[in-house]
A and B are shown apart, each in its own frame.
Chain A
């Protein structure tokens, strides 16, 4: 597998889009978190609500893992975009065919693309950890691992997005269309999830049936649903009407979709004409 990864590296190391998007993502993570940090320090903590929040700092250790994972999650479309470009490039340049002709097996070709999704998700997570450490240490509190599970949820979300991106790219093959479909699907799933969440609330309030947030059981939202902003003192006012969070079920769904899309990608590459 190492020699295959080395070949992938040869493909991307001189690719400007790869360098540009990676840099933009790294800066984006710090910038997004800095905006949230600034909002809390300069606006929320100076408002009347500050009394209720009682010096709540989402960038202290214990909260920082969750806050940074949640805020950075909104930027995960960038590494997905990068993967869409890289995978569809192989079809545009017909190098997907040439790689097989030159002696890669279809299984190796599929596996290395999945491995790329894993590495990109891992690197994105590393950026998040780095960012969290920078913000938390600058707050001056002692290091704590509490809440680090949210970094794991971020990794799962990154991997889910990446695998869905690779699936759409393998299916559609054309860069522009694949990017369009990815974002349309993302938007459509969010709209459907909103409807399902409203339905969940209605079921809970009228019939006392609590399945959790049904919207969280959709492919992208299942990994989205695991990430949330740390529970501020204000949140206790709003949670009463929401369905109970079934973290393990949502986690199960996220892993199920991950396996499903990985299987579909392998099947598309191994069984179809290239």
Chain B
């Protein structure tokens, strides 16, 4: 069963195309990251799913049904910014959220405890710091223990401790079987918590699927010797049709994930009469993989 299925969603603002024929689906129980640089259409897409924006074209389903407000009540959502009545306290604001969702009024204390706002629960919202506002928005999303959470940049405005706490919370919720849809431009955030990912760029879906399949982290071996050109030419003769590039004073050899063996490289160079002055392996960063996908 899919929690969300998106079929050819498009959105235009006048002549500007914010989303172009985006289609993917979010399986139940996944932690689904929507990844993309600023302005790639992540929030627009979530806005359409939550019915605050109207799609120019395409359709979507929630829980395999045509979307309606009753289905939205089963989803806890933090979209873009924390939106609360400035003159009301955390508890008063959450009572409104619970009222709209028609559940969760008895859950207010629990969610405030989760986001560490219990001791400020009666302070008015406008007096909160940015981080506290974000925490309250997460509390509102958790209210009533929804089976699906939609979190748009959930760690915005949080300090490093807060970021770690939210990541831990997301992992905990995922382990409880909840589906989490998370939009982010923070690559490590997605890498650390997501099981699935969709990558958007300029409103187009570049790719989507299992994180491990999309971000196959190639092994990169870096070597150096006194004659860098000779080294490069020699390495090109290595079996496996590997990518060999000069990067400054070193040569990079890209192996398929899990296949790099430093001993073999050293042996091969030694047999070619080259003495290596440097030999090390490093994982290809998610960032460079992301750049590769989006550029």
Binding site for B on A (CB under 8 A): 3, 6-7, 10-11, 14-16, 89, 93-95, 97-106, 108, 271-274
Contact = CB atoms under 8 A, between A and B. Distances in A.
Given A10-B95, A10-B99, A94-B83, A101 B68 contact: no
B51 to A, nearest CB: 6
A87 to B, nearest CB: 13
B3 to A, nearest CB: 16
Contacts, number: 76
Given A97-B79, A272-B54, A274-B52, A103 B70 contact: yes
Contact of B85 (A95, A100, A105, A273): A95
A101 B140 CA distance: 11
A102 B137 CA distance: 12
B87 A101 contact: no
Contacts of A102: 72-73, 77, 97, 100-101, 140
Among A7, A100, A101, A274, residue most surrounded by chain B Cβ atoms (within 10 Å) = A101
A14 B88 contact: yes
Given A103-B70, A104-B69, A3 B77 contact: no
B50 interface: yes
Contact of B81 (A89, A94, A108, A274): A94
A7 B84 contact: no
Interface string B55-95: 00000000000001110110001010101111110001001
Residue of B51, B53, B77 most packed against chain A (CB within 10 A): B51
Interface residues of B, number: 29
B54 A105 contact: no
5 contacts: A14-B92, A97-B52, A98-B84, A101-B72, A104-B69
Nearest to A106: B51
B50 A100 contact: yes
B52 A3 contact: no
Contacts of B100: 7, 99, 102-104
Nearest to A271: B54
Given A10-B92, A271-B54, A274-B53, A103 B83 contact: no
A11 B85 contact: yes
Contacts of A94: 81, 83
Contact of B101 (A93, A100, A103, A106): A103
Given A6-B99, A14-B88, A103 B69 contact: yes
Contact of A95 (B47, B72, B83, B99): B83
Contacts of A6: 99
A95 B92 contact: no
Contacts of B21: none
Given A15-B87, A89-B85, A274-B52, A101 B102 contact: no
Contact of B54 (A15, A97, A101, A273): A273
Contacts of B47: 97, 273
Contacts of A95: 83-85
Contacts of B54: 271-273
Contacts of B83: 93-95, 97-98
A13 to B, nearest CB: 9
Contact of A105 (B69, B92, B97, B102): B69
A130 B118 CA distance: 45
A101 B96 CA distance: 13
Contacts of B140: 102
Pairs A-B, 6 closest by C-beta atoms? A103-B73, A98-B83, A105-B69, A94-B83, A102-B100, A7-B99
User: Max chain B CB contacts within 10 Å: which of A10, A271, A272?
Assistant: A10
A1 to B, nearest CB: 13
Contacts of B102: 3, 103
Contact of A273 (B52, B70, B86, B97): B52
Contacts of B92: 10, 14
B214 to A, nearest CB: 28
A104 B68 CA distance: 9
A271 B53 CA distance: 9
A100 B52 contact: yes
A3 B105 CA distance: 13
Given A10-B92, A93-B83, A100 B51 contact: yes
A3 B69 CA distance: 15
A7 B101 CA distance: 11
A271 B51 CA distance: 10
B205 to A, nearest CB: 21
A15 B93 CA distance: 12
B49 to A, nearest CB: 10
B115 to A, nearest CB: 17
Contacts of B99: 3, 6-7, 10
A100 B101 CA distance: 10
Most chain B Cβ neighbours within 10 Å, of A6, A102, A271, A273: A102
